[in-house]
Amino acid sequence: MVLYYDEPLELVSGNGRHVLGSDGRTYLDFFGGLLATMVGHGVEEIVEAIRSQAGKLLHSSTLYLISQQVELAEKIASRSRIPDARVFFVNSGSEAVETAFLLTTTAAKSNQVLALRGSYHGRTFGTVATTGIRAWSATSLSPLQVSYVHSGYRYRSPFGSLPDEQFVDACVDELRTIIETTTSGRVACMIAEPIQGAGGFASPPDGFFRRTKSVLDEYGIPLVSDEVQSGWGRTGREFFSMHAHGVVPEVLTFAKGLANGMAIGGVVASAELMNTVEANSISTAGGNPLAMAAANATLDYILSNDLQSNADARGTELLQGLRSLSEAYPAIGDVRGEGLMIGVELVVPGEKTPNVAYTLRILEKARELGLLIGRGGLLGNVLRITPPMSVTRDECSTALALLKEAFDQTTP
């Protein structure tokens, strides 16, 4: 495993959007536990829910009724827009996506899958197979036959200079060609992140997913929306990000922030699709009482505090501030994102050449100044800015000032 920073940082406690390191310093957290600390650190309602459940029962397994699991499943199903929705809980995003593949390949009796270039879906056997980033592809072996299609990432696309409508036309034409020429015609599913996470928060223009879904429907290919990073209103546009594109997928996968850092994951699909798996199936720890207590409290907190609207407003402020910075610093090649999923792609000034070394130096300098951010992208040259959804206007202003200082003090 790789740790961030030349001197690895251990976090020992947190409150709100601030964390304390074992080095004795307090940091403004704009990475949010890799998007898992969805609503902030030390949120009393969530802490108390976990504390109360821990004092009663830690585990029982899915062979017993867990009423909090039913409660959470109903909340999620009602917002999924999937007809006759069913929810199956697991322990991580990787396991959630694997479950989606189990459902769709069983239903189609095919192991052929479409995935987007630049995607990241996990670190397990099937999810690595559909991850379109070389740095995260641990093996070429695969239980699936995968065909990759255009992701809608414009900055480095050969179609990038086209106007939006023509760009989408080109991507959709490519999708149809890939289906017709690289598959048997019997495709289990297409999996897509509405906004790519590890890929550097790339998102396509409006119309991309709507047009994509129309092609998939022609061929009877279900869409799996990987909402592990983009769900629960983080993008500010919709509760599940794919809905913002006017698309209701056949399957939704989720994980990360739903339990504000506790291990959780899950899949939403119609009863018909869920019931295609006829063999025995349980999840020993999936939907366990402790994770369910945390998730119900987290979801209630998001809804009662309207954090989706906050993510929209604060995200707009951050994007505006970062785009202003890009005008002053030519090493900022692209600023993009939705809500509180923002990517800043760094390049050699005057070129599009990825500037990975500079990205690492900015990451280190930001930490030195007291700000924690992430790094990703296809080529490792994108700063990832993902504060908890409860972030305040003042904290966004502070983060922007610290980033400006980091750019001022760091030579490309």
Strand partners, 258: none
Domain limits for position 311: 11-30+306-408
Where does a domain end: 304, 333, 348? 304
The answer to whether residue 129 sits within a structural domain is: yes
Extended beta strands in 106-210, E state:
112-116, 145-149, 189-192
Q: Which of 267, 283, 304 is the last residue of a domain?
A: 304
Task: Report the first-to-last Cα separation within the chain, whole angstroms.
Answer: 27
Residue 153 lies in a domain: yes
Assess whether 176 and 209 both reside in one domain.
yes
| Cβ atoms within 10 Å of 345's Cβ, excluding its own | 26
Amino acid present at 169: D
For residues 239 and 367, state if they share a domain.
Answer: no
The pLDDT score that the predictor gives to residue 61 is 86
pLDDT of 355 higher than 90: yes
- The answer as to whether 155 is a domain residue is yes
Domain boundary among 271, 304, 337: 304
Residue 72's pLDDT is 98
Span 381-408, pLDDT tens digits: 999 999 999 999 999 999 999 999 999 9
Residue 35 within a domain: no
Asked whether residue 203 falls in the same domain as residue 318, the answer is: no
Query: H or E stretch including 360?
Result: helix 356-369
Residue 182 lies in a domain: yes
Dist CA 267 CA 269 (whole Å): 7
Count of beta carbons in the 10 Å neighbourhood of residue 45: 13
Q: What angle do CA 11, 15, 16 make, to 5 degrees?
A: 120
Q: In what order do the strands lie in the sheet with 112-116?
A: 85-90, 265-270, 251-255, 223-226, 189-192, 112-116, 145-149
- The CATH number that applies at residue 160 is 3.40.640.10
Asked, for residue 342, whether it belongs to a domain, the answer is yes
**What is the C-alpha separation between 321 and 335, in angstroms, rounded?**
10
For 356-374, the pLDDT digits (tens) are 999 999 999 999 999 999 9
Q: Are residues 238 and 277 in the same domain?
A: yes
pLDDT at 77: 98
136 found inside a domain: yes
Report d(CA 203, CA 376) in Å as an integer: 15
Note whether 198 and 77 are same-domain residues.
Answer: yes
Q: What is the pLDDT of residues 132-172, one digit of tens each?
A: 999 999 898 999 999 999 999 999 999 999 999 999 999 99
Q: Tell me the average pLDDT across 277-286.
A: 92
Look at the chain and report how many structural domains it folds into.
2
Residues 190 and 314 in one domain: no
The dihedral built from the CA positions of residue 201, 206, 207 and 213, taken in this order, carries a sign that is: positive
| Same-domain pairing of 342 and 360 | yes
Each residue of 41-95: pLDDT tens digit? 999 999 999 999 999 999 998 899 999 999 999 999 999 999 999 999 999 999 9
2 is a domain residue: no
- Same structural domain, 179 and 273: yes
CA distance 189 to 219: 10
**Average pLDDT for residues 298-324, to the nearest whole number?**
98
In whole numbers, what is the pLDDT of the chain averaged over residues? 97
| Confidence label for 2 from pLDDT (cuts 50, 70 and 90) | confident
Q: Considering only CA atoms, give the Rg of the chain.
A: 21
Which two tokens mark 313?
């407003």
Given a contact cutoff of 8 angstroms between Cβ atoms, the answer to whether 298 and 69 are in contact is no
Cβ distance 29 to 19 under 8 Å? yes
**Section 190-214 average pLDDT:** 96
Q: Is the dihedral of CA 211, 213, 217, 219 positive or negative?
A: positive
How far from chain centre, in Å, is Cα 232? 11
Reading the block at residue 356, the tokens are: 């990975």
pLDDT band of residue 1 (cuts 50, 70, 90) is confident
One domain, residues 127 and 98: yes
Q: What is the pLDDT of residue 102?
A: 98
Give the percent of the chain with pLDDT over 90: 97
Q: Are 376 and 193 in contact (CB under 8 A)?
A: no
Whether residues 162 and 277 share a domain: the answer is yes
What pLDDT was estimated at residue 181?
97
Residue type for 303, please? L
Assign residue 388 the CATH number of its domain: 3.90.1150.10
Q: Residues 281, 326: one domain?
A: no
Q: Are residues 266 and 384 in the same domain?
A: no
